[in-house]
Chain A
Amino acid sequence: MTYLGGHLLELRVESEELKVRNKKRLAWLFALLGLLPLLIFKYYNFLGKNISDGLAAIGLNFSLPGLNWAVPVGISFFTFQAVGYMLDVYHGRIKAERNITDYILFVSFFPQVASGPISKASELLPQIKTVKTFNYCQAVIGLKYLLWGMFLKVALADRAGIYVDTVFAEYAKFSGVGCFIGSLLYSVQIYADFAGYSLMAVGLGKTLGFDLINNFNRPYFSVSITDFWRRWHISLSRWLKDYVYIPLGGSRCSKLRNYWNIFVTFLVSGIWHGANWTFIVWGILHGVAQIIEKVFGWNQKDYKGFARLGRIVLTFLIVTVAWTIFRSPSIGETFGYFARYTAMSGQLIAEGSTLVYIIMALIPVTLYEVMTEFFPILYKKLYSKQWLRWCAYLAVFTMMMLIGVFDGSSFIYVSF
């Protein structure tokens, strides 16, 4: 549908047969058609349930027949990538792709089809068309990304997942501190899981000669929520900016309108993540936090020293609270979980040995992130020593084998 839409939109542009308004209608039509499978697969049941609940509240019994379909893996990612391509053609940023096999490969490029990153056609399509020759440096960097991504996923995310699942499943048994540790570890889990996948996708791409967008840039060192979204899931932020925020007017409008645009963009982000009120509230929370930062100018300041540290901690805590909502199965459960934050009695730690393994995996991750964020010169100096690099690769691989979880658990973002 998006392939066809791209062609039709380009034909219209070239022939100038239709006025701008009609072209816009055509773009809307094909964008909606492109989004339709996503809307049906992910949101039909959610809408049906909410309509039924709403009608039941006023005494009407009506329910839509439920769909018991398996949702295609990565539907949100490849749908956004395809719709993004079509909108780029509509805006005249790229030419419509003539070769359908190249287009199919662009939409379903295997390293990124399940969980992104969401590539732009202008970046990936030319690479697909180029004949590849082996590039040693790129292949080596690719393998390094692959190794680090695997470590993040297997040693950190899946281990943290075991702990987090225990706490969230039985939060009533845990004390306030215990529940807070659960929340903190979910922040760790989702980052390691998603960044791990993205790194593996980028690494595989590089080894095959493709450059994919880097999806993460040490997001937990952000000094504001605005900064966080420049570092977290960068490809989605870019998509939302290009195809939602800017078309709404972006920041080149009144302040109030700008705040509204931010709100809507993050509402869309929340809805994109899944058909559950928890995702919507999570998106709204991020949107509102950014509006507040904009109102007070907190997103502009260049923080240094302890002020920066304080901002990093504060931002991380806000993000963690938002992740807790995101992780909960329902809004009711979220309230229940947060209510436990004040509990003085209850279990403090879920599984001692699991926590030890999480800390063991966190040490190299933290070390690497701190070095690259705060001491890049020292990092480069150390990185230039070949023997040290090799020791690090061996240590990472060994740690992964010794403390990783090999139970074949899936990636969190695969279900989005």
Chain B
Amino acid sequence: MAKFVKNVLLFFALIAVVDIACGFGFKYLRSHAKGGDTLKNYYIAEECCDDILILGSSRAARHYDPKVLEDSLGLSCYNCGEPGCGIITAYARYGMIEPRHKPRIVIYEVSPLYDYYILDDNSKYLGRIRQYADKPSVKQMFIELEDELEGLRLFSNMYKNNSFVFNSVLDNVISDGSSNGFKPLYGILKTDTQEGVRANRDWQIDSVKLSYMENLIINFSKDNVRLCFMVSPRYISEENARKQDSDYVTLVGLCHRYSVPFINHTYMEGISDKPELFQDYGHMNREGAKRYSEAIVADLKQYIE
């Protein structure tokens, strides 16, 4: 029995050594990334000190071209949008930036599904930032959204870097150029395809997401950061766009309470009616993103001045 216990302890001691080595290895890979999500995550967590930040889901990542905004406004800009993510990821990302830097303006692209409707298990949204779980604000979110044991699991470097091996290595080899976090789409919408049916469901409010949204607004207010909620264009008729207004009632209520501007461009003349500017019904392509980014400069100038 003693030999058995000794060998088991030895095994876990060796695993601890490997775990520490993995921690150093992944830290190196993150800090030396040349592109991809590894670089984007590292930049947001450790280096970002830009004047304008874009937060939100895929529609944020695909629709706001930081270069256009930088050139037009004369301020540095970084797109922190992440496909398939919403308020949970945005809150965690700002939590990593905030101790180091306070941006001048934050544009939050609203996606009701990811920002305040019940969609998935909320802990799912933390997956992309697990590598940065040693940051106190992020770790706290893991404990809140997972379970009390998550805090213990996060002591393991291997666990924190789970499912990041391939991308970490790849992003150290392939450079995708400096795009300031912008992830444009290419291709043109085929209007003969059907639009997704998600919008037609009777969605329920997720109180956890909503509380994070409210806390984010409060944090921005405390930090004197100008926040602007925006909804970028869809390929949609004006009439159908108005029908989607009910999806934003909850957020509009929050905006009124905290005096935060909300600009709804779901239907934007000159963009929403042009399929050649879209990749699918909900996402503009690169050309669409460029036109839209140029179009919102006037809106943003008001808030900067």
A residues whose Cβ falls under 8 Å from a Cβ of B:
134, 136, 139-140, 143, 353, 356-357, 360, 390, 393-394, 397-398, 401-406
Contact = CB atoms under 8 A, between A and B. Distances in A.
Please name the 7 residue pairs, one residue from A and one from B, whose CB atoms are nearest each other, closest first.
A401-B158, A356-B166, A353-B166, A134-B1, A402-B165, A398-B18, A136-B4
Contacts of B161: 402
Nearest to B12: A397
Given A401-B159, A401-B162, A404-B162, 19 more contacts: A134-B4, A136-B1, A136-B4, A140-B4, A353-B163, A357-B163, A357-B166, A360-B166, A390-B14, A393-B11, A397-B11, A397-B15, A398-B15, A401-B156, A401-B158, A402-B162, A403-B162, A403-B163, A406-B162
B5 to A, nearest CB: 10
B51 to A, nearest CB: 33
B210 interface: no
Given A401-B159, A403-B162, A403-B163, A139 B4 contact: yes
Contacts of B1: 134, 136
10 contacts: A136-B4, A143-B8, A353-B166, A356-B166, A357-B163, A357-B166, A393-B11, A394-B14, A394-B15, A402-B161
B22 A402 contact: yes
Contacts of B22: 398, 402
B219 interface: no
Interface of B: 1, 3-4, 7-8, 11, 14-15, 18-19, 22, 156, 158-159, 161-163, 165-167
Nearest to A154: B162
A402 B14 contact: no
Contacts of A397: 11, 15
Contacts of A390: 11, 14
Contacts of B14: 390, 394
Contacts of B8: 143
Task: Choose among A140, A401, A405, A406 the residue with the greatest number of B CB atoms under 10 Å from its CB.
Answer: A401
A402 B165 CA distance: 7
Contacts of B159: 401, 406
Nearest to B14: A394
B252 to A, nearest CB: 34
Nearest to B7: A140
B158 A398 contact: yes
Nearest to B17: A394
B158 A402 contact: yes
A406 B162 CA distance: 9
Nearest to B11: A393
A393 B13 CA distance: 13
B199 to A, nearest CB: 19
A397 B4 CA distance: 18
B300 to A, nearest CB: 35
A143 B163 CA distance: 25
A394 B18 contact: yes
Contact of A403 (B15, B18, B156, B165): B165
Contacts of B162: 401-404, 406
